[in-house]
Amino acid sequence: MPQDFIQIFKGSPIEVMSLLHALEKINIVPIVKNPSESARLAGFGSLTTDQTLWVHIDEKDRSLELLQSFNL
């Protein structure tokens, strides 16, 4: 991931989806990385279903405030 982005969350797809929609409501467009889907598409297996949520470094503070309100 480029240095312009920071990982703010790692968790289940349901948690990531909730945060994704909440961030989009405040005009932050995050990036979701799904290693198990990438592995599946490449023909490999994966033991984890965790996804990561990344935001641009300029949106870090607003994103972390929202994340704290979720109590995850």
pLDDT, tens digit only, all 72 positions of the chain: 568 999 999 999 999 999 999 999 999 999 999 877 777 778 887 777 899 999 999 999 999 999 888 876
Its sign, for the CA torsion 13, 66, 21, 24, is negative
User: Which residue's entry shows tokens 């994103």?
Assistant: 63
pTM, whole model, 2 decimals?
Answer: 0.81
Q: What is the pLDDT of residue 32?
A: 93
Q: What is the pLDDT of residue 46?
A: 73
Phi, psi of 4 (to 5 degrees): -75, -10
Q: What is the pLDDT of residue 36?
A: 79
Domains of the chain: 5-70 (3.30.70)
